Amino acid sequence: MDYTFKQFIEDLEAITSASQDHDVITRRAAPLLAKLCGNPEAIPAEYRTAPAGQRGRYILHRGPRFNVTSVIWRPGDEARSHDHETWGLVGVVENEIQETRYVSRGARSLGGKVALEVREVLRHKAGAVSRLVPPHDEIHAMHNPTTKDTLEIHVYGKDLMGLQRHVFDADGTVGSLVSGKYMNC
Ligand SMILES: [Fe+2]
């Protein structure tokens, strides 16, 4: 039987009740997100496509301990290196995505600098899940280098909307990142 969105939420509730450790949560939840990614129908059809002229970003679940969104990257869409200020999981449902992972050292203050190094450049296909574990393994850059839309499910320990986050120049200079509204709320 297909793994449903409802079951995924119940499982995540159990995992995030049992532990607050970011590494433990993401390790336990990653295989479940991979399973969910195998069932695109688990996401309502209207949240699986990008609106005309924009990247898609929809909230699917809001809760006190985690939030789930769907994201649609159009061909050529990219996000420069950024952090999340919480744990995260990024799962690919359809097509593929390029993710550059960074290692950082140092406190992140706006206008300041951190030591930032590229750790690896990955190409994730459908079913792959990437884990973001703060404070020092949660910076990445994303790029859809293909000619098709890429559908992902993201899970974060906080609602990213309005959260003060950071973007990074190649030399480690820290800038401000605050995400606006989701397309469905
Ligand atoms: Fe991200």
133-159, pLDDT tens digit by residue?
Answer: 998 899 999 999 999 999 999 999 999
Q: Report pLDDT for 185.
A: 84
With pLDDT > 70 as the criterion, what percentage of the chain qualifies? 100
Among 58, 11, 22, smallest CA distance to 136 is for 22
Among 177, 143, 133, smallest CA distance to 73 is for 143
Sign of CA dihedral 87, 145, 105, 84: negative
Enter the tokens of residue 112: 């300041």
Average pLDDT over residues 35-43: 96
Answer whether residue 166 is part of any domain. Answer: yes
41-86, pLDDT tens digit by residue?
Answer: 999 999 999 999 999 999 999 999 999 999 999 999 999 999 999 9
| DSSP three-state, residue 25 | helix
Residue 141 CA: distances (Å) to CA of 13, 53, 91, 112, 114? 28, 21, 15, 19, 16
pLDDT-derived band at 123, boundaries 50, 70, 90:
very high
Distance CA 38, CA 122 (A): 20
Q: Report pLDDT for 136.
A: 84
Answer whether residue 185 is part of any domain. Answer: no
Enter the tokens of residue 151: 């559908």
CATH value at residue 144: 2.60.120.10
Average pLDDT over residues 92-111: 96
Answer whether residue 184 is part of any domain. Answer: no
Q: Report pLDDT for 99.
A: 98
Supply the range of the domain harboring residue 101. Answer: 5-177
- Distance (Å) from CA 83 to ligand 1 centroid: 6
**DSSP 8-state symbol, 4:** P
Answer whether residue 182 is part of any domain. Answer: no
- Distance (Å) from CA 11 to ligand 1 centroid: 23
- Distance (Å) from CA 139 to ligand 1 centroid: 7
- Distance (Å) from CA 169 to ligand 1 centroid: 15
Answer whether residue 104 is part of any domain. Answer: yes
Distance CA 112, CA 93 (A): 36
**Total of domains in the chain:** 1
Distance CA 146, CA 42 (A): 24
Q: Report pLDDT for 73.
A: 98
Q: Is the pLDDT of residue 1 over 90?
A: no
Answer whether residue 173 is part of any domain. Answer: yes
Answer whether residue 73 is part of any domain. Answer: yes
Distance CA 52, CA 49 (A): 9
Whether residue 135 has a cis bond before it, omega within 30° of 0 = yes
Q: Report pLDDT for 4.
A: 96
- Distance (Å) from CA 178 to ligand 1 centroid: 12
Count of alpha carbons within 13 angstroms of residue 120, beta-carbon side: 6
